[in-house]
């Protein structure tokens, strides 16, 4: 904890700090997903990653980014043939069978205190320490995450599997009904 000669300001999170927090959340999501174990194998798979930031900034209140899986290049396949299982279309084409497995989870996190988020993610908190000569010195201090256990709202994971299955079924039905799919194109 800071001493009487140290000042801790709760500065806004830098982009690289937020990226580290998001990467930590993604790692936790993957490690908690029963599909991401060595017991499972995927003959065909496609995935979609979405990032939506809702910011307390009237001039730029929301930011969205996304990434959809892509098929491997010939060189990548030569080095790692297992990458052939990754496809670049969602839902998988041809349309999914009734037995196809779909999993969709969304993690929501509200960061109310940048310093609490830094401590939870083992990122340094900037403190200003007054040296013996009276000069202010800034330094990063990494506190053990357990000192803030339960202080920040935990992330919330939402199971979007049912909604995603319905979206995929609707997309497959539309694709099957299109003139190109019937050979009229």
Would you say residue 183 lies in a domain?
A: no
- Flag residues of the chain having pLDDT under 70: 1-5, 95-96, 175-176, 178-185
Residues spanned by the domain of 137: 6-172
Would you say residue 184 lies in a domain?
A: no
Q: List Cβ<8 Å contacts ≥24 apart for 76-83.
A: none
Instruction: Quote the CA–CA distance of 172 and 185 in Å, as a whole number.
Output: 18
End-to-end CA distance of the chain: give it in Å, rounded: 69
Would you say residue 42 lies in a domain?
A: yes
Q: How many domains does the chain have?
A: 1
Instruction: Quote the CA–CA distance of 130 and 127 in Å, as a whole number.
Output: 10
Would you say residue 160 lies in a domain?
A: yes
Would you say residue 13 lies in a domain?
A: yes
Instruction: Quote the CA–CA distance of 45 and 47 in Å, as a whole number.
Output: 7
pTM: 0.77
Instruction: Quote the CA–CA distance of 27 and 122 in Å, as a whole number.
Output: 15
Write down the pLDDT at residue 106: 93
Q: Which helix (H) or strand (E) holds 7?
A: strand 6-8
Write down the pLDDT at residue 96: 66
CA distances 92 to 52, 57, 97, 102, 150, Å, are 24, 38, 10, 10, 40
Would you say residue 45 lies in a domain?
A: yes
Residue that the structure tokens 């930031």 belong to: 53
Would you say residue 148 lies in a domain?
A: yes
Residue closest to 147 by CA, chosen among 169, 118, 119, 124: 119
Would you say residue 180 lies in a domain?
A: no
- List, for residues 130-181, the tens digit of each pLDDT value: 888 888 888 999 999 999 888 889 999 999 999 998 888 887 777 667 666 5
CA distances 173 to 90, 103, 129, 167, Å, are 13, 20, 64, 10
């Amino acid at each position: 904890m800071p001493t009487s000669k140290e000042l801790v300001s709760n500065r806004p999170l830098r982009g690289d700090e937020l990226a580290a927090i998001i990467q930590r959340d993604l790692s936790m999501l993957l490690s908690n997903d029963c599909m991401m174990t060595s017991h499972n194998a995927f003959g065909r798979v496609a995935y979609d990653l979405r990032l939506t930031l809702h910011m307390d900034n009237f001039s730029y209140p929301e930011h969205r980014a996304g990434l959809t899986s892509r098929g491997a290049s010939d060189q990548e396949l030569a080095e790692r043939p297992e990458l052939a299982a990754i496809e670049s279309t969602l839902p998988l084409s041809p349309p999914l069978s009734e037995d196809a497995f779909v999993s969709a989870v969304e993690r929501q996190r509200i960061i109310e205190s940048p310093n609490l988020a830094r401590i939870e993610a083992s990122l340094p908190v900037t403190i200003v320490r007054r040296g013996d000569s009276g000069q202010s010195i800034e330094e990063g201090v990494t506190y053990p995450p357990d000192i803030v256990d339960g202080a920040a709202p935990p992330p919330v994971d939402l199971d979007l599997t049912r909604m995603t299955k319905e979206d995929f079924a609707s997309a497959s039905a539309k694709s099957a009904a299109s003139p190109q799919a019937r050979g009229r194109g």
